[in-house]
Amino acid sequence: MSTFASLMRPLDVKGVRLPNRIVFPPTVTNYASDGGEVTERLIRYYQEIARNGVGLTVVGATAIARAGNLFPLCTRIDGDEYLEGLSRLFSVIREAGSVPAVQLAHAGRQTSHKMTGEQPVAPSPLPCPVWKDLPRELSPQEIEKVEDDFAEGVRRSKLAGAAMVELHGAHGYLINQFLSPFSNRRTDHYGGSLENRARFALNILHKTRARVGSDYPIICRISAEEFMEGGLTLSDTREIAPLLVKNGVDVISVSAGVAASRPLRDQHMKQGRFWELAGAIKESVPQTPVIAVGKILDLATAEKVMESQGVELIAICRALIADPELVTKSLEGRSDEIVRCIECGECTASLVKDESTMRCSVNPNL
């Protein structure tokens, strides 16, 4: 029976001790209320995962503004009225033995009027090939307001008890939209060169640090490749990652793709390309912890990826949705009892196609 010793080692991030190297990454569940409040269902979902040996549990897709909702029933953090519910959620995760974190996001053009009641906004008035609503181009003054909204979201997260936050700069959402030449065609100081396209993200970091200080851990999730013609490439993101670290990011979480490149993204994930991307980003930020993700369905694979790519943390998503006890069963030598993810995609299809809450074909509790 393997003890998975390398995975079980603790890791300190700015004074926050993670008990092991396993991360449950942020997911959209649609388990919040229609006003963005934490619900009992959402608490049960995260509690079940947190109490089964996950080192870091990241609450997913929490909108920093109503117009930035990724899906209709995402948690929100754009007002103090959300603090009580989030505080309870973070406390439950902590009491279960995991470190609580929260992902802050703004959908930008990857949403719809139907979801938010407002016209989507974006760096440039280019519709997302998937959502198709024509977005309105943000003015410089509006961009500054969104930067402030992100920073306020981090301040509220800390106040509510999150041990760290993750800024969602991946998968085609607003921070990613500014970074990418595919979606950012601006000609002002927020567009053009890589440095200008990174300005939005860096301003968020500067404003955030002014509110929470230098010792509060910040993760930034990026898409190392967009898999879109004219989009971000690994060469770009190997320049972006050090910029983020220089300006206040403590951990880089490496994913890939955007909504419009999902079929190609899934193909690359199946081939293990995501792991190699994480390793390549790690080379560009050698002193910074990096999280790898992408079809990591068991602890043996997790250990292999961590060791082969030189990364510090491993995100396990769909396998933990299928069986929240995956880590516990693996460590106790009960691997034959694990309910395996069958890679059917129901967890995402239920959100996108059915506009429903997240479901899983093999987990009847969801």
Active centre residues (catalytic): 173
Indicate the helix (H) or strand (E) that contains 356.
none
d(C-alpha 130, C-alpha 260), whole Å: 6
Are 76 and 89 in contact, with CB atoms under 8 Å apart? no
Neighbours of 363 (CB within 10 A): 18
346 burial class (0-12, 13-18, 19+ CB within 10 angstroms)? Answer: buried
Phi first, then psi: give them for residue 86, nearest 5 degrees.
-65, -40
d(C-alpha 36, C-alpha 93), whole Å: 19
Q: Look-up: residue for tokens 């089964």?
A: 52
220 burial class (0-12, 13-18, 19+ CB within 10 angstroms)? Answer: buried
Are 120 and 112 in contact, with CB atoms under 8 Å apart? yes
Tell me the sheet residues that pair with 39. none
- Written as six digits, the tokens of 298 are 């068991």
Cα dist. 97→48, 50, 51, 57 in Å? 11, 6, 6, 10
Q: Which of 165, 171, 172 is nearest to 205 (CA)?
A: 165
d(C-alpha 75, C-alpha 61), whole Å: 7
Note the maximum CA span of the chain.
59
d(C-alpha 52, C-alpha 98), whole Å: 9
In this structure, the chain runs to a length of: 366
Are 200 and 142 in contact, with CB atoms under 8 Å apart? no
Neighbours of 173 (CB within 10 A): 24
